[in-house]
């Protein structure tokens, strides 16, 4: 049985080939020379250990997902990003995968123009072209999914990200994937409680794995945030940040919800 992750990446590669026919890598590299330097997302998410007394929020612009279908129309992603920023989000994540998530690089452009905080291009990075593309469109971070990359790809893509002045959220789901992320000195490690091969969610995955990440990297809890209780659970088990999409795009008051999540996270962190 083909995993959902592999099926998604097949589509990503097909769409990538179409974009490469329109804009060459050399053209992208020239565009990057004229883009403002990347913002420091690592610092925005807490940076040094001494700067992590509160829970940071990565708030996501996400129209739909393979597991839940349509989530929200989001006619104005820029306006939503402004609400996120005003609520206290440290980073805005923008889905750019089109087939399963309804995203686009146009969404990334709109958000980048609207906010002055770091922006994550959330996609299934499978070629260095996509990293140059992200930077050309003003992204400050990219997503690198360990399960989708070989060790060689993971290291080279992370190196390129840093060469471009960017950061990467290195996403894991198992102890073996965390070990691979640590081995390449990932500065931001995400633990996705959703299994991308099956789309099943198990919030216990975070508590089981977070303790295996050594001191130093920023630890991000990804997926499964429904309410304050989930935020407190992740915070109590070592999350420095949470990545939230569905709970925010389906909420009529996302700015207030982010502030509520941050307050709940701060309480849980102080009680550790």
The residues assigned a catalytic role are 60, 62, 122, 171, 192, 222-223
Cα gap 226→244, rounded to integer Å: 9
**Contact call for residues 222 and 51 (beta carbons, < 8 A):** no
User: What's the CA gap between 33 and 251, in Å, rounded?
Assistant: 38
DSSP 100: T
**What token pair was written down for 238?**
């070592």
- Chain center to CA of 8: 17
Residue 204: how many CB atoms within 10 A of its CB?
Answer: 12
Contacts of 94 (CB under 8 A, 6+ apart): 60, 61, 77, 81, 103, 107, 108, 111, 119, 120, 121, 122, 139
Q: Strand pairing of 188-192 and 167-172?
A: parallel
Which residues, 6+ apart, have CB-to-CB distance to 54 below 8 Å? 46, 262, 265, 266, 269
Q: Distance (Å, rounded) from C-alpha 257 to C-alpha 84?
A: 9
Q: How many CB atoms lie within 10 A of CB 114?
A: 18
**C-alpha to C-alpha distances, 168 to 30, 68, 203, nearest whole angstrom:** 22, 26, 23
């Amino acid at each position: 049985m083909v995993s959902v992750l592999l099926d998604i990446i097949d589509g990503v590669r097909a769409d990538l080939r179409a974009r490469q026919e329109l804009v060459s890598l050399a053209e992208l590299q020239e565009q990057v020379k004229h883009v403002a330097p990347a913002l420091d997302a690592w610092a925005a998410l807490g940076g040094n250990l001494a700067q992590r007394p509160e829970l940071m929020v990565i708030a996501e612009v996400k129209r739909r997902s393979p597991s839940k279908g349509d989530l929200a129309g989001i006619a104005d992603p820029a306006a939503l990003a402004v609400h996120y920023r005003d609520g206290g989000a440290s980073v805005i994540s923008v889905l750019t995968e089109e087939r399963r998530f309804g995203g686009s690089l146009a969404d990334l452009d709109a958000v980048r123009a609207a906010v002055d905080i770091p922006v994550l291009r959330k996609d299934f990075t499978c070629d260095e072209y996509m990293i140059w593309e992200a930077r050309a469109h003003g992204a400050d971070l990219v997503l690198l999914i360990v399960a989708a990359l070989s060790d060689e790809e993971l290291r080279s893509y992370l190196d390129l990200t840093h060469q471009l002045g960017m950061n990467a959220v290195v996403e894991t789901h198992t102890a073996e994937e965390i070990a691979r992320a640590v081995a390449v000195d990932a500065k931001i490690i995400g633990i996705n409680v959703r299994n991308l091969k099956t789309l099943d969610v198990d919030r216990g995955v975070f508590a089981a794995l977070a303790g295996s990440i050594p001191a130093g990297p920023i630890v991000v809890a990804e997926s499964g945030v429904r309410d304050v209780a989930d935020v407190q659970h992740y915070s109590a088990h070592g999350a420095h940040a949470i990545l939230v999409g569905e709970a925010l795009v389906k909420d009529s008051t996302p700015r207030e919800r982010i502030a509520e999540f941050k307050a709940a996270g701060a309480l849980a962190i102080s009680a550790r």
